[in-house]
Amino acid sequence: MTNLHFPKDFWWGAAASGPQTEGRTADDGKGDSIWDYWYATEPERFYQKRGPKDTVQLLQRYPEDVALMKEIGFNSFRTSIQWSRLLPEGRGAVNQQAVAFYREYFATLIENGIEPFINLYHFDMPMALQKEGGWLNRETVTAFADYAALCFELFGDQVRHWFTQNEPIVPVEMGYLYQQHYPAEINLAHAVQVGYHEALASALAIQRFRQSQQSGEIGIILNLTPTYPKDPNDEKDGQAAQLADAFFNRSFLDPAVKGTFPEELITVLNELAIMPETRAEDLQIIKENTVDLLGVNYYQPRRVQQKRSAKTADTPMPEDYFDVYDWPEKKINPHRGWEIYERGIYDTLINLRDNYGNIPCYISENGMGVEDETRFIDASGQIQDEYRITFIKDHLRYVHQAIQEGSRCRGYHMWTCMDNWSWLNEFKNRYGFIAVDLATQKRTIKKSGEWFREVIQQNGFVD
Ligand code: BGP
């Protein structure tokens, strides 16, 4: 038996987002985001046609929810401000109800010993700005920087850990390549422009944070999917993996941490003649405003091999440069269809140590979505989610090892705190430490939540 002990002041907690938890009330003053709009116009796209309106009613229930976080023992918790709640039109008039809500919510966290980690963008473009093109429109970049500066001004006395965006690659791929987010286009040129604008907007927000001279730190949260070639000794598989990595990881990781874009990506975009529109000053802004801290969301690896299959789409796609490799030995979470590969979290942290100046980081999301968890309710009414405990342990072991080997990983946040609303999948897969009965909104801590409390108390676990 080994005692896996984590560093002093390690951040233990969970992550969530505004759009997935808050819900809406008739008079809350919130403007529509792309999710509200999409649900109103195409509800059939959403699993069981359940939209973003109610989610888990955190807007009204946050005191109870924060009390449960405290019961588990979190010392930190990440959520996001909804841009469309604070600025219903994306810019201009401020919704004072939103200011009051977020201030009270953050104060409640702080009073309970839970440090709020606040993210500014979690896939939720205000619809008013989307109508003008959303991230395709350069004006949105300025609007985002202004919104960020407003947040620093309004909440800077409460928040010490800021994040500009969560998984900025997701709006790129899901909105402009794979049709899982609005506006559901398939257009690589648009995808590239959107990604570029997001990266620039993040740098500008960081610049505004530094200009505000507030204390604290600012970062970005990226979903890093370590990319493995089918045959590590095959040069072409290796090149395919490198390019996939450039498309999906380094496209944001490099500008965020190094202030530059990956050369391979620039070469491909030049060949395809789809370089984004830029302005002379942009690259300097990106160069000078890199992050203090990196949030790493880790769910699954990406396995690729050299391109052999025929092209299927009639427009350029990242998949023109590699084929997905289906590793026969893979372990899979059947509910989400994602591979479970615990070692990937270690490889990711070691990559940051070796190739990204060992930037301070933390695991900002890691978790397992499971369908119909009520199957596992015991006589006392608690969900016995042993599989989640195993999942977390198996990942924490590797996080611990990476720290032992010099990674500056400062915490672990599970996705998520309470079961919440998951985009097109709505409540299909449940991820939380706390179960939510949607009929009654009753919250019950799962077995994993109780286990996590012990981990936090001991700052580790005996393996
Ligand atoms: C991450 C997102 C979260 C969350 C999680 C689980 O990519 O940051 O918002 O949803 O994935 O994924 P899903 O809800 O799609 O099952």
What confidence tens digit (pLDDT) does each residue in 215-229 have? 999 999 999 999 999
- Whole-number Å distance, alpha carbon 415 to ligand 1 midpoint, is 8
Q: Ligand 1 centroid vs 422 CA: distance in angstroms?
A: 6
Classify domain 3-462 by CATH architecture: Alpha-Beta Barrel (3.20)
- Ligand 1, pocket-test mutation among 417, 423, 426, 429, most atoms within 8 A of CB: 423
Q: What are phi and psi of 280, to 5 degrees?
A: -55, -40
What pLDDT score does 311 carry? 86
Alpha-carbon distance of 444 to 198, in angstroms, equals 38
- The H or E element spanning position 450 is helix 447-458
**Whether the bond into 183 is cis, omega within 30 of 0:** yes
Rounded to whole angstroms, the maximal C-alpha distance in the chain is 65
Parallel, antiparallel or unpaired: strands 227-229 and 161-166: unpaired
Every domain of the chain and the residues it spans: 3-462
Give the pLDDT score at 68: 98
| Interstrand relation of 434-437 and 442-445 (parallel, antiparallel or unpaired) | antiparallel
Give the CB-side neighbour count of residue 244, counting CA atoms within 13 A: 27
The confidence score (pLDDT) of residue 33 equals 98
Atom from ligand 1 closest to the CA of residue 170: 7
Q: Say what the pLDDT of residue 87 is.
A: 99
Q: Is 260 in the pocket of ligand 1 (CB under 6 A)?
A: no
Indicate if ligand 1 lies below 6 Å from the C-beta of 180: no
> Each residue of 105-125: pLDDT tens digit?
999 999 999 999 999 999 999
Is 85's C-beta closer than 6 angstroms to any atom of ligand 1? no
Report whether residue 21 contacts ligand 1, using a CB cutoff of 6 Å: no
Q: What does the alpha-carbon distance between residue 166 and residue 169 come to, in Å, rounded to a whole number?
A: 9
Active site residues: 365
- Reference 106, options 133, 127, 87, 79; nearest CA is 79
pLDDT tens digits for 304-343? 999 999 988 889 999 999 999 999 999 999 999 999 999 9
CA of 368 relative to ligand 1 center, distance in Å: 10
- Cα of 330 vs centre of ligand 1, distance in Å, is 21
Q: 223 CB less than 6 Å from ligand 1?
A: yes
Question: Is residue 326 packed enough to be buried (19+ CB in 10 Å), middle (13-18) or exposed (0-12)?
Answer: exposed
The answer to whether 208 and 149 have CB atoms below 8 angstroms apart is: yes
Closest atom of ligand 1 to CA, residue 167: 8
Q: Kindly give, in sequence order, each residue whose CB lies less than 8 Å from that of residue 353, ignoring residues fewer than 6 positions away.
A: 402, 405, 406, 407, 408
- Token readout for 145 is 């920087």
Ligand 1 contacts CB of residue 430 (under 6 A): no
Protein residue closest via CA to atom 13 of ligand 1 = 422
State the closest ligand 1 atom to the C-alpha of 424, by its place in the atom list counted from 1.
15
Q: How far is the CA of 431 from the centre of ligand 1 (A)?
A: 9
Spans of the chain below 70 pLDDT:
none
Regarding the beta carbon of 415 and ligand 1, being less than 6 Å apart is answered: yes
Please provide the size of the chain in residues.
Answer: 463
Under 8 Å CB-to-CB from 382, ≥6 apart: which residues? 444, 445, 446, 447
CA distance 222 to 359: 13
Do residues 383 and 437 touch, judged by C-beta distance below 8 A?
no
- Beta-carbon contacts of residue 263 (< 8 Å; ≥ 6 apart): none
- Which pLDDT score, from 0 to 100, does residue 86 have? 99
Distance of alpha carbon 128 from alpha carbon 110, whole angstroms: 33
Ligand 1 pocket member 108 (CB < 6 A)? no
- How far apart are the CA of 375 and the centre of ligand 1, in A? 22
Residue 99: what pLDDT? 99
Does the CB atom of residue 422 touch ligand 1 within 6 A? yes
Mutate to test the pocket of ligand 1, among 46, 297, 422 (most ligand atoms within 8 A of CB): 422
* Residue of minimum CA distance from atom 12 in ligand 1: 422
CB 26, CB 59: distance < 8 Å: no
Query: Minimal CA–CA distance to 305: which of 373, 370, 237, 352?
Result: 237
